[in-house]
Structure 1
């Protein structure tokens, strides 16, 4: 850390404990300052100490500084840190909160009357606009249209320019661009007639007042003389216009950001403002923060390797992190046969960490899209591991899932006696409810809805593979049981979240799941720019981990499925991909099917059964007794038999014939919950068979 005896005591106190690069940023001369801060390098610490330095040296009074962030949580954190440094009175707010505060003050003085009512959501007015254009007003369609309205307005794009703008950006739209443009125009008219404003109006109106009303500009610029902008890579054109209006001809601006964490361009974010800062302000001081205090060197090395493959303009501003923490465990890369196996292993790993002393709240399971959450919610619930879903509703609380279950429940009676396989029955019911199995939908909410319902079909395929005779009634009962488990209240638990929702957060242990091509990068990423954003998204996920990191993917969606998936191309540098090289920091578990009984590699013809021919013959009698016992338990508790144990687990128990609870727990498919519920009974069945043989 920096030792600067040449500095005055007050300044020495402010930079005490900072590293050389952080100190350089804090002590930079007044004027334009760009801090390129990598993940975990202490950017919030640096900019709050910078503000404290400017106040302590008399460059600014606290009330003359405005710090803007993107979330209320980040603004609150900044205010808290400034208070701990003895700095009171600095305004730290989001762009919208700062603009709304100023608008509420100036509007009555310059336009008369109160500020128009702020619409809390675009949804209702966008729905009205769609209806007047004779466009579908389903929840997901309106939600996607609202996102397009927000994107266009944040990018300062009017209805007439919208079609050409989306084509230039290779942007997927929920409807033909010309139709969306009509909705955008109609939305503006409806808003005007209702005499309400939206959040974009707040920024736009404040920028306009500063640009066109001299007395407003003089008063605001007299009040705020220095500006700090956090996460500058995420600024959109509308926010930049307001920032320019605040600044006027001045250049007292400090920005901090990281081009490698640009993951919101689909909402209008423009990293160009960060990348071109030095060209715009020729006298700017640029400081790079690359010392990572969050993650172990092993995690940092993995992050560097992933982002080193980036290309394009953003790659020129790529930072190379240097881990500062003591060495930790190597990141683990695992491959699984199917998604349920992946989820079960992830849940078991979470439980292992918790049993080893890691707090549940310090563990996260991160995936690409919210529809992937259900299988992990279920797997964690099966092991009794508490969890919380961040940034989205729990799977069974989503509107489309509740509606689908209503249709499925209503079909139980008509499905009785059907000879169709379960997954085909489920597909037919969901198609009749309006779902398209071909997935011919766009992006956004419609795609999320499709993926969520498709997960139900995947579950039906899984259940059919475990027991071909499974009925629709059993399937609905399983859904009800899973929903009940998911609704159990949790206070502190493992975080389940999408990679986007994880931005700005960190945990001791992170599991990155579903890392196959088509998911990361996601299939709808087609242009080079879109694919590179997917790489940055994975980079953000990796850099959330402090110590433990596991990456994984499944070769197929359902048990018994064709293992045709390939690992994410972004992980090719770790081996297993085309043109990649192996790396000692990642251990990859190869896909080898082994007998559930003796553990020997299986011949191709035995892989589906899960056991070799020898073990099947030796354990057949016990397997039959276990199936009879299972049937009795299932009938007594009114459960589908596979809920007790599926055939694969019974086969593994029969071939191993464990004589103790610990031996039974070692069998794949027997978790602690089922061990406590059925363990003693299973051992009795095994023991009875051994006595009979004697």
Structure 2
């Protein structure tokens, strides 16, 4: 870190606007111009989705520099991603401004701590923990906990949440309970692991990423000479995505400021979606209370999306509980008219995925680049059915914000075990129960999904393998385990092919900050969105609503929202569509509960001997399906059984002439059907 004496700008800069400064403001709308020219004192920019937030804050910095209010090297702009920091630097360079420090919180803290470590820590900068899971594993073992990779990931997440919210091991249990956390072990056990983890780091002389912020803040708070030097260098601060700041980051920001008020925060209360990681939107919502003289500017002109998409977004977020009027943002669409958002209900998830895949294919064939299309879902485990559907439709895709399905650790482990089981042979007709048994050996329990976090993602991934086995048996009842393993290998190989121009598959969280011409928001059922873990807490449900708002506002022109009545074909209990769609789906009411419609089934009305035979056939079908561990419709549909009951065939030839009966089903079930008819 350069010494203050080496920095330019020791004299107070002039604030007289120049011609260059006025030129920077050219091309901004009235609200952007007001925000960009507000360079004195505390400033809060409430920037709605698509309103030109990055353009505004870069022009504000450039205006301040050209007007003489800022010395570039004395400005620190902090963001949440390295990509966003790079974008800020690039745009500032385009405006003729260099020297501004645009960094993430962690990068800024690391730079400062590395410089001041000899003074603060008595030696060089400590090494950073490279493998947090390894340290957590050691701490868990000392706490006598039995763990696997999934529970270790969840423990690491809990420790990160505790540290970002400034919770110590001693007060973690009470804080976790108050926050509604669902840790992988009881809170007292997590606290023991947390304490052991901290001791292990201290013993090895290492820091983790949370420590970077904590120790830097401590250095500024407890070392006046360090504070003076840092505060002399950085006199003006800009904080992007301020709605996502956590208590640890706010503590560091306060230490940087040292009671000064030259800070500009930028955020959107409607896009607060990271409370589960420790983010606290109250810092944004309470900014005007902390700084009564703050200038608050709203950016509501949406240049990203069509008025139709904007209208739906406004209606969605307008159903949330009222906030103070100062924090209410209502987007105003600035683009030309576009198509109305579309809503689709499907019988089951595979049908929903197939419809989305075909719609993506139609868009690509009509000239929309595949990279300008996205499919957004609530949890990563939902990706598999869309990966399969897009592959079947011949549409390339890329995964954003998560590992490819077949590269996930639990899936790789399962495939290895399935391959080993297949080497020992497989009984025809036993694929699904065999897959279930193999997965059960990993600790997977079919009807007991974990409450949330990485453990639930793992459960969903393994459940998707079972669903895939069921689908293959539905297509070909003779599919055995070796053929299933070969099919998995083919899919894995296809996913490794380059798909740079593919349709983006992403979770709603991973989609934040991105945009596409066409967006499909899928899987919109209660229990998924809002996710089941949130249903007991109104504030958590509202965060789920904001997550859907983020997904909706990713679309520039075309927006499709869909849901399916059941997860798997043949399931009998329908799922209600997401409560957030009430009042959005044409004809629905924002106050009425979402209707729970059952899938349409073939209506069978037979009397006399035909009716009796139909019931016998259904009983035979039920026992046959149960023995093969497949849904009943995989054997024969009700419509086919009705045709058999009405025709009463007495030979294979007569049976073959009925609808729904092919050669394979004749081979598998023909003799049994004729025997049932002849009873």
Q: Give the TM bin, normalised by the shorter chain.
A: 0.7 to 0.9
| Residue 408 of structure 1: aligned partner | 418
| Residue 209 of structure 1: aligned partner | 219
Q: Could you say if the C-alpha distance between residues 415 and 216 of structure 1 is closer, same or farther in structure 2, counting changes exceeding 3 Å?
A: same
By how many angstroms is 1:178 displaced? 0.3
Tell me, yes or no, if the aligned pair for 1:227 and 1:254 is still in contact at 8 Å. Answer: yes
| TM-score when normalising by structure 2 | 0.85
Which of 463, 481, 493 aligns to 2:502? It is 493
| Residue 650 of structure 1: aligned partner | none
In structure 2, how many angstroms separate the alpha carbons of the residues matched to 1:479 and 1:315?
Answer: 54
Q: Could you say if the C-alpha distance between residues 115 and 54 of structure 1 is closer, same or farther in structure 2, counting changes exceeding 3 Å?
A: same
| Residue 680 of structure 1: aligned partner | none
| Residue 27 of structure 2: aligned partner | 17
In structure 1, how many angstroms separate the alpha carbons of the residues matched to 2:665 and 2:55?
Answer: 59
Tell me, yes or no, if the aligned pair for 1:574 and 1:581 is still in contact at 8 Å. Answer: no
By how many angstroms is 1:385 displaced? 1.2
Tell me, yes or no, if the aligned pair for 1:174 and 1:442 is still in contact at 8 Å. Answer: no
In structure 1, how many angstroms separate the alpha carbons of the residues matched to 2:339 and 2:97?
Answer: 40
Tell me, yes or no, if the aligned pair for 2:429 and 2:478 is still in contact at 8 Å. Answer: no
Give 1:622-637 correspondences, 5 Å limit: 627-628=662-663
Asked if 1:432 is matched to 2:441, the reply is: yes
Asked if 1:355 is matched to 2:353, the reply is: no
| Residue 83 of structure 1: aligned partner | 93
In structure 1, how many angstroms separate the alpha carbons of the residues matched to 2:442 and 2:288?
Answer: 55
Tell me, yes or no, if the aligned pair for 2:17 and 2:67 is still in contact at 8 Å. Answer: no
By how many angstroms is 1:80 displaced? 0.6
Tell me, yes or no, if the aligned pair for 1:296 and 1:546 is still in contact at 8 Å. Answer: yes
Q: Could you say if the C-alpha distance between residues 159 and 562 of structure 1 is closer, same or farther in structure 2, counting changes exceeding 3 Å?
A: same
Asked if 1:454 is matched to 2:476, the reply is: no
| TM-score when normalising by structure 1 | 0.83
Which of 211, 217, 234 aligns to 2:244? It is 234
In structure 1, how many angstroms separate the alpha carbons of the residues matched to 2:323 and 2:183?
Answer: 25
In structure 1, how many angstroms separate the alpha carbons of the residues matched to 2:306 and 2:463?
Answer: 38
| Residue 524 of structure 1: aligned partner | 533
By how many angstroms is 1:476 displaced? 2.8
Structure 1 residues 306-344: Cα deviation after superposition (integer angstroms, max 9, x where no partner)? 111112658972311111000111111111111111111
By how many angstroms is 1:455 displaced? 1.1
By how many angstroms is 1:529 displaced? 1.1
By how many angstroms is 1:627 displaced? 4.4
Show structure 2 runs of 5+ residues with no match.
1-15, 607-631, 648-653, 669-679
In structure 1, how many angstroms separate the alpha carbons of the residues matched to 2:657 and 2:498?
Answer: 40
In structure 2, how many angstroms separate the alpha carbons of the residues matched to 1:91 and 1:303?
Answer: 35
Structure 1 residues 332-382: Cα deviation after superposition (integer angstroms, max 9, x where no partner)? 111111111111111111111111111111111111111111111111111
| Residue 253 of structure 2: aligned partner | 243
In structure 1, how many angstroms separate the alpha carbons of the residues matched to 2:113 and 2:297?
Answer: 34
Asked if 1:337 is matched to 2:340, the reply is: no
By how many angstroms is 1:438 displaced? 2.7
By how many angstroms is 1:136 displaced? 2.0
In structure 2, how many angstroms separate the alpha carbons of the residues matched to 1:314 and 1:347?
Answer: 42
In structure 2, how many angstroms separate the alpha carbons of the residues matched to 1:630 and 1:348?
Answer: 29
Which of 474, 490, 493 aligns to 1:484? It is 493
Tell me, yes or no, if the aligned pair for 2:343 and 2:585 is still in contact at 8 Å. Answer: no
In structure 1, how many angstroms separate the alpha carbons of the residues matched to 2:450 and 2:663?
Answer: 46
Show structure 1 runs of 5+ residues with no match.
1-5, 583-587, 595-601, 633-639, 641-694
In structure 1, how many angstroms separate the alpha carbons of the residues matched to 2:30 and 2:39?
Answer: 16
Q: How many residues align?
A: 615
In structure 2, how many angstroms separate the alpha carbons of the residues matched to 1:625 and 1:171?
Answer: 51
Structure 1 residues 451-480: Cα deviation after superposition (integer angstroms, max 9, x where no partner)? 100111222333344444543344333323
In structure 2, how many angstroms separate the alpha carbons of the residues matched to 1:592 and 1:119?
Answer: 52
| Residue 682 of structure 1: aligned partner | none
In structure 2, how many angstroms separate the alpha carbons of the residues matched to 1:592 and 1:134?
Answer: 49
Structure 1 residues 244-293: Cα deviation after superposition (integer angstroms, max 9, x where no partner)? 01001210000000111011011100000000000000110001111100
In structure 1, how many angstroms separate the alpha carbons of the residues matched to 2:59 and 2:185?
Answer: 48
